[in-house]
Each structure stands twice: as structure tokens, then as C-alpha cells.
Structure 1
Amino acid sequence: MRFGLQLGYWGAQPPANAAELITAAEESGFDAVFTAESWGSDAFTPLAWWGSSTQRVRLGTSVVQLSARTPTATAMAALTLDHLSGGRAILGLGVSGPQVVEGWYGEPFAKPLARTREYVDVVRQVLAREAPVVNDGSHYPLPYRGAGATGLGKPLKPITHPLRADLPIWLGAEGPKNVALTAEIADGWLAIYYTPRLAGMYNEWLEEGFARPGARRTRADFEIAATAQVILTDDVAGELDRLRPFSALYIGGMGAEDLNFHAEVYRRMGYGEVVDEVTALFRSGRKAEAAAAVPDELILDTTIIGDEAHVREQLGVWEKAGVTMLLVGARDIEQVRRLAPLLAH
């Protein structure tokens, strides 16, 4: 198992120490650096900017939102980054949720699995550069022949020859159908709120995808990259209190009240009553009470927090569950440098 540095998306301002964190991650032996996007900063630009000062670490998106770009535009960005980095790009994709897709991008959210399948197929056609890119699907038709079309569109091949036709595509997925699709068509799974306790359930979803005709990978060459806070500390209670408001936000306030994929993940873990309580409190404006209602065990299910001996032990548990990479956030250079040696267990 390896570490990836998860930089995430920006808040009100760009992070002040991202460049230093990336340098420390590369020097300390981290395998990759990842960026994300929501409805502010984008994922590709920071990778290109900060990644230009790196030599070894892979540069990944976790995740690029499908509705933000057409599949050909995403393929162009990925192949460009791959050339500039000497073949170190990882394209992580995700559907996001209806609030963002319809509220920010002005696109329909319906049929996310079918959209994902078409999207990945078009991206792979661009990267393969074997023939002009065409797609007969209803979500991303190429050439476009719908309302307002001139009829003059023609299938095209990318002018730039991609560096790697097999540039890895990883999918962010949370539900059983999406995880199975990921195992079928992708090279890796970007798992959020993963818990080793449910590894058997995840494996059933994955195996369904691997067993489908034409599946791209097997479990042996498939990556599972789980986002998880890994915190070395003697003050576990203090760290839990620090993380509680973030858990409450994603459980109770991220996504629509009736369709919050993050909340559904925790329901599958057995925290249905907690989800209901936190959601009711958060959406009534009682955010501090919502945070206080998040139990310790819910946070500890999806994080690794403790002293060095405990963290080493838990890294082994996550690795045994099938995780090939942990995507960790880090607040400072010291944390990055302290984490890296722990994988030598």
C-alpha cells in the first residue's frame, strides 16, 4: 500500500502551503498527489502548476466532475497533462450530485451510470487515437445531430498524439451499482468514506463488475484508492472534535436533503439513525448540535487516528482489506514527513 497526498479543492483562497506539501510528499516517498473540484477551483490547473516542480509523483484528479466538461475536453486536458508530466497523469472522474450538476453546470443529472459509461468510452477513444471519435449514445453524441445542428460536424482524431493510450482512469463511486461499473470499465476506484469493516460488501460489488464480459481489469491489477484522514496524535479526542463539523457537513448538508450520496454511505455502515438526526439538525441551522451528534465510532470507521503503534496497526488492516493507496490530507510538512515512514510496516 502507498500514500497519495489529497489536496482537495480550494476554499475561499488558494492554500498557502500546497507547493511545500507537494515537495515534502515527493521527497518522503508518497506515490501521488491529487486535486479535486467542486464549484470553485478546478482540478487540472493546480496539478499542472504545482506538478511542474515535481519529477516522480503521479498527478491525479480526485475527482474531475463529468458535467464540467465534455468527454473530449477532459481527454484533451488529461493527454496534455500526461505529456507535460512525462506520463504521470491519473484521470479521476466522478458524476458529483444533482445540486452541483443541475445547479452549477446547468446539466441534467439523470442516468449517471449510463453517462459515466459513455463518457469513459469517448475519453478512451481519444487516448487510443485509432480512429475518428464517434459516439451513438444519447448523452454525448458525436458528431452532434440534434436540435440546432448544422449537419456539418465530422468525426475527428486528436491532433496531438497521446503519450499513453492506457492513461489510467479511476472513478469516484459510492453506491453498489456505481462501484460495480467502476470495476468493469475503469482502472481504479476512488473510494470515499471507505471502512475496512465492510470490505466483504465492497468486494461483492467489485467482483460483480470484474465478472462482466469485457471487463477491463481483474482484482490483481485494479487500484483501490481510499480517501482517509491518517493522523498521528496522542490527543485522539481533540482530533475527533476537530473532524466532527466536517462529518456533519457531508452527512447533513452536502447534496440535496432527499438525495445525499455521502449520507447513504453512512446508512450502509449502520448509522441510519445518526444520519437522520444530523441531517435534521444541520438543515434547521443548528450546525453545532449536528456536529455534536456525530459519534466517535462513525469518524473512526473511516479514519486512522492515534499514536504511531496504532496507526501502523491500522494501516495493515486497511491494506489487508484490499486498499492499494490511502489518499491522506496533511496540514503541514511535518505531518507529511511523519506519515511516510509508517508504511514500512
Structure 2
Amino acid sequence: MMLDSGGYAATVTEAADAVAAAERAGYDGAWVAETQIDPFVGLAVAAGRTERVELVTGIAVAFARNPMTVAVQANDLQLLSGGRFVLGLGSQIKPHITKRFGMPWSAPAARMREFVLAVRAIWSAFETGERLRFLGEFYTHTLMTPFFNPGPNPHGNPKVYLAAVGERMTEVAGEVADGMLCHGFSTERYLREVTLPALECGLAKVGKTLDGFDISGPSFVASGSTDEELATAIAEVRRQIAFYGSTPAYRGVLELHGWGALQDDLNALSKRGQWDEMNALVDDEVLNTFAVVGDPKSAAAEIKRRYGDVATRLTVTPPVAAALRDAD
């Protein structure tokens, strides 16, 4: 299993520094998320400071962009990094797409499928010089003159990973992507009973199996070498679980465990801005179902037990990643 380091940087410089630190520490990959910065810019800076580590957008919001801009940015990063770039895409949720980005929202799974296929069609035009002709329901790309065509990438096209939670988006990941980024708001049971069957369904549509398909496993981990460190980590993970649990799009994970009512309560509190009250609703049973909790040695063993036969890579935040690496 590959171990990636990831986090939520506040500046491009902070993101690039974190990626460079991950390479020095021996991690296999490092990802930059789209929160307060553009992940493509952060990784572009990081590419010049690193030589080995794989560079992943984890994630870039697809529906805030269009396939042409993403295809060009990904091609540039693949070239700049010497073939170390992985394009990680996610849909985000409707309020962010329509209210924060001012972009259209409809049929997210179908739109994402078409988005990835359009990106691949554009890359094919770069590689072959043949006429670009992608005609879809959501995206149309039919113009690529030589002046705008960068030509074939000597490192080949980047891998595409797709973030998913629901069955439909997960099926799309199997159909059009090279790997899947399992959302942190998943459980071992959800991964085995919902995610894997949906992935296999999507893969079967294109005549493939899970062999060679990358799966980045769920990564809520609360670990510490002292009681104080562990308590701090647990409090942060409770906050993350409460935040994601308040989102209707992720309700299915809770319902699988019989906790649908918890989503109603968390959502109501979030609308009132009662964040501390939300955290208190995440009891120990919910915490330990979603997260791996314990000292570094026991946490590393539990991660392998839960996901070792399924996940090909795991992404955790830098302090936890360092502890787990040392414990392995």
C-alpha cells in the first residue's frame, strides 16, 4: 500500500513546502486540495522542488471548470513534473457549484462521466493531431487548431482519479477513471458492501476488473503518542465526521449503519451554526466506525486490517502520516 501525505494548505507556498517535506520524509505521493488555493498552482510550484514524489490534486473541483482548461492544466503539470502528476477530480456538492462558483449543476454522475471522457478526447487530439470532435450532452469540443495544440506529452497522459461516495458516481469512476479516491466519510462496511460492487459494475461496462485499478482508501485517523496528542486528534476527527455527516449527499453512508436520524440532527445544527453541538453528537461508536483510533502502532495495524486487501494507497494528514510511517 502506498502512503500519501496530504493536507489543506492556506497558501501556495505552504502547499509546495508540504509536498517537498513529504518527499524528504519518504512518502510515495503528496496531494494538494482545492480549499483556499488552486491545487494546480500549488503542485506546479511543488514540481520544481521535488524529483520523485507523485503529485495529486486531491481534489480539483471539476464542475468549477471545463474539460479544456483541465486538460491543458493537467498536460502542463505532467510535463513539468516529468510524468509524476495524477489528476484527481471531484464534483463537490450543488450549493458550492451554484452559489460559490456560479456554475451549472445537473445529473452529477452523468456530467462527470462526460467530463472525464471529454478530457481524454482532448488529450487524444494533443497526442495524435487528429480532429477534435467531442459531442456530448453537457460538453462540446470541436475546435483544436495547431496553434493551440501543445502536441504529444513525452511522459504520456496523467492518470485520472475520481472521488466518489454514492453508488452512481462510484460506478462512473470504475467506467472512466484509472483510480478512485474514497471519501474520508466512508466506513469499512460501506467500502465493502457499496463501493466495491459499484466499482466492479462500472469496470465491467468497459471490460475491466479491479486488477490494476487504484483505490485510495478512507483516511480518518486519530492517532497520537501521548494522551494529549490522541485527545486532540480525536476532537479534530469528530469535527470532520460531524461536518461531513451534516451533508445530505453523504446520508447513504450513515443510513447503511442505521444512523439516518443523525444526519437530520447534524444538518439542522449546521444550519444554525451550532458547530460544537454537532461534534457532541458523534459518539464513540460513530467515531470508531468511521475512524481508526489509537496509538501509532495499533492504528497502523488497524488500517491494514480494514483496508489492506482493498486499498492500493492511503492518504492521511502529515502528522498522522509521520507517526504511522514510523510505527510500520
TM-score, length-scaled by structure 2? 0.88
Kindly provide the amino acid, as one letter, of the partner of residue 236 in structure 2: R
CA distance, structure 2, for counterparts of residue 310 and residue 137 of structure 1: 49
CA distance, structure 2, for counterparts of residue 310 and residue 46 of structure 1: 33
Give per-residue Cα distances to partners, 1:273-292, cap 9 Å, x unaligned.
Answer: 22122222222232221111
Paired position in structure 1 for 2:134: 135
Of 309, 324, 327 in structure 2, the residue corresponding to residue 339 of structure 1 is 324
Give per-residue Cα distances to partners, 1:149-182, cap 9 Å, x unaligned.
Answer: xxxxx44462232234442001011101111111
Kindly provide the amino acid, as one letter, of the partner of residue 243 in structure 1: V
Q: Give the Å deviation of 1:293.
A: 1.0
Q: Is residue 282 of structure 2 the alignment partner of residue 288 of structure 1?
A: no
Q: Is residue 200 of structure 2 the alignment partner of residue 207 of structure 1?
A: yes
Paired position in structure 1 for 2:313: 325
Give per-residue Cα distances to partners, 1:266-318, cap 9 Å, x unaligned.
Answer: 33343212212222222223222111111123232232221133113212213
Give per-residue Cα distances to partners, 1:214-247, cap 9 Å, x unaligned.
Answer: 24x4211001112413343243444322332232
Distance 1:285 1:104, change over 3 A: closer
Distance 1:163 1:342, change over 3 A: farther
Paired position in structure 2 for 1:151: none
Paired position in structure 2 for 1:148: none
Of 37, 41, 62 in structure 2, the residue corresponding to residue 41 of structure 1 is 37
Q: Is the 8 A contact 1:226 1:323 kept in 2?
A: yes
Distance 1:16 1:244, change over 3 A: farther
Paired position in structure 2 for 1:277: 265
Distance 1:339 1:17, change over 3 A: farther
Q: Is residue 180 of structure 2 the alignment partner of residue 182 of structure 1?
A: no
Paired position in structure 1 for 2:109: 113
Q: Is the 8 A contact 2:7 2:32 kept in 1?
A: yes
Bigger relative contact order (CA 8 A; separation at least 6) = 1
Kindly provide the amino acid, as one letter, of the partner of residue 65 in structure 1: V
Kindly provide the amino acid, as one letter, of the partner of residue 212 in structure 2: D
Q: Is the 8 A contact 1:21 1:336 kept in 2?
A: no
Structure 1 residues 172-181 or 291-300, which shifts more?
291-300
Paired position in structure 2 for 1:218: 209
Kindly provide the amino acid, as one letter, of the partner of residue 34 in structure 2: E
Q: Is the 8 A contact 1:24 1:336 kept in 2?
A: no
Paired position in structure 2 for 1:22: 19
Kindly provide the amino acid, as one letter, of the partner of residue 6 in structure 1: G
Kindly provide the amino acid, as one letter, of the partner of residue 234 in structure 2: L
Q: Is the 8 A contact 1:101 1:108 kept in 2?
A: yes
Q: Is the 8 A contact 2:19 2:31 kept in 1?
A: no
Q: How many pairs are equivalent?
A: 318
Give per-residue Cα distances to partners, 1:189-214, cap 9 Å, x unaligned.
Answer: 011123223333122111111211x2
Paired position in structure 2 for 1:300: 288
Q: Is the 8 A contact 1:32 1:59 kept in 2?
A: yes
Q: Is the 8 A contact 2:15 2:32 kept in 1?
A: no
Distance 1:200 1:251, change over 3 A: closer
Of 175, 195, 206 in structure 1, the residue corresponding to residue 187 of structure 2 is 195
C-alpha RMSD of matched pairs (Å): 2.3
Q: Is residue 244 of structure 2 the alignment partner of residue 244 of structure 1?
A: no
State percent identity of aligned pairs: 27
Q: Can you give the 5+ residue segments of structure 2 that lack an aligned partner in the other structure?
A: none
Q: Is residue 24 of structure 2 the alignment partner of residue 32 of structure 1?
A: no
Distance 1:165 1:305, change over 3 A: same
Paired position in structure 2 for 1:146: none
Kindly provide the amino acid, as one letter, of the partner of residue 295 in structure 2: D
TM-score, length-scaled by structure 1? 0.84
Q: Give the Å deviation of 1:16.
A: 7.5
CA distance, structure 2, for counterparts of residue 239 and residue 44 of structure 1: 29
Q: Can you give the 5+ residue segments of structure 1 that lack an aligned partner in the other structure?
A: 144-153, 255-259
Output aligned runs, 1:255-270, within 5 Å. Answer: 260-270=248-258
Q: Is the 8 A contact 1:119 1:140 kept in 2?
A: yes
